[in-house]
Amino acid sequence: MFLSDPPASDLAEALYDEDRESDGYVSNTTRLWCWRPDVLKDFFGVRSTLSSGSGLSPADQAVLFAATAAARSDSYCGLAWGTRLAGHAGPGTAGQVMTGMTGGLDPRGAALADWARRVALDPGAATPADISRLHDVGLTDQQILEATVLIAWRVAFTAVNAALGAQPDAQLAEAAPAAVRAAVSYGRPPSAVPSV
């Protein structure tokens, strides 16, 4: 990352411990955001509130986040969410989503991926026809709002990470299926040195 390591604090250490417990290492994004660990905690709290109370399934959310990362050419979130999407839709389909295609997705997933790209790249060009397509695949107005907020949340997160040079962790890249790694050819390359 382009910033130095943040100063030690109790909250930063708690967040580092959470990373170590869940992933076995402290991610580069956590280190970056721990310049304001309170903001990181609240920022992820918003996403957790949206996700847990949402009518969108984990697979729906994986499509949204993976397609958003791909649209924004964000390799960090692309590797992370492409891997999660592979768990729901298979590595080949996840690799396609990471390159902007939707061929392996069902109609609902394809509509969500297209909506993610629209919101991530040109939200002002959205039309009632876009909303109708989402309704046609069974999404309610509440789910459409939730999807849109989740996409916007991901855009904000990826913008901070990319602008401040967060490099994908070597472990994250190693854990990604080969089809996802091959598809995520944009953004910052993964670190050659494992995170600790």
pTM of the model: 0.93
Two tokens, residue 147? 């999807």
Helix (H) or strand (E) holding 184: none
User: Using alpha carbons only, what angle is made at residue 27 by residues 29 and 70, rounded to the nearest 5 degrees?
Assistant: 55
Residue 20 has pLDDT above 90, yes or no: yes
Q: Which residue has the tokens 């790694």?
A: 181
User: Using alpha carbons only, what angle is made at residue 179 by residues 177 and 180, rounded to the nearest 5 degrees?
Assistant: 65
Residue 9 has pLDDT above 90, yes or no: yes
**pLDDT at residue 53 in the model:** 85
C-alpha–C-alpha distance, residues 15 and 40, integer Å: 9
C-alpha–C-alpha distance, residues 88 and 94, integer Å: 9
Q: What phi-psi label fits residue 73: left (phi over 0), alpha (psi between -120 and 50 degrees) or beta?
A: left
C-alpha–C-alpha distance, residues 11 and 92, integer Å: 39
Residue 189's nearest CA partner among 168, 162, 174, 163 is 168
Per residue in 43-55, pLDDT (tens digit) is 999 989 988 888 9
Per residue in 47-106, pLDDT (tens digit) is 899 888 889 999 999 999 999 999 999 999 999 999 999 999 999 999 999 999 888 999
